[in-house]
C-alpha cells in the first residue's frame, strides 16, 4: 500500500477547513453508533457493504482498518464488500482492491 492517508483528501479538507462542522459530524456518527444494537464488528462490516454498494471507495481503506481493529477477518471483509452483489451489482467489486490493500497493510 502507498503512503496515502486512509481518508480522502475531501474529508481531510472538511476537517481542516470546517473543524466545527467536522466535530459535529463526528459527534453525530458516534451517537448513532451507540444508539444501534449491532456490535462493533458487525457495524463496521455493514458499513463496508454500504460503501461498496454506493461506490464510495475513498472511505473503504479507513473503514476496512476499523473492521480489522475490532476483529474482522480478511475473509469477512471480502464477504462484506461482496454481499451487495445481488442487489447492487458488479460495481461493488470496485471496492475490493482498496479493502484488501488496507487490510493487508502493516
Q: What pLDDT does residue 4 have?
A: 56
> Cα separation of 12 and 15, whole Å?
5
pLDDT digits (tens, 9 = 90+) for 19-55: 999 999 999 988 988 898 999 999 999 999 999 999 9
Among candidates 10, 98, 3, 95, which has minimal Cα distance to 49? 95
Domains of the chain: 8-37 (no CATH), 39-106 (1.20.1290.10)
Whole-prediction pTM value? 0.86
**Mean pLDDT score across all residues of the chain:** 93
Q: Are 98 and 60 in contact (CB under 8 A)?
A: yes
- Grid cell, residue 57, equals 471507495
Amino acid at each position: 500500500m502507498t503512503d496515502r492517508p486512509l481518508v480522502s483528501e475531501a474529508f481531510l479538507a472538511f476537517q481542516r477547513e470546517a473543524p466545527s462542522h467536522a466535530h459535529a459530524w463526528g459527534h453525530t456518527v458516534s451517537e448513532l453508533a451507540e444508539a444501534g444494537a449491532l456490535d462493533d464488528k458487525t457495524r463496521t462490516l455493514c458499513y463496508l457493504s454500504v460503501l461498496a454498494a454506493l461506490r464510495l471507495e475513498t472511505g473503504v481503506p479507513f473503514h476496512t482498518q476499523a473492521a480489522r481493529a475490532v476483529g474482522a477477518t480478511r475473509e469477512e471483509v471480502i464477504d462484506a464488500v461482496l454481499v451487495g452483489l445481488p442487489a447492487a451489482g458488479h460495481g461493488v467489486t470496485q471496492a475490493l482492491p482498496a479493502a484488501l490493500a488496507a487490510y493487508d497493510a502493516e
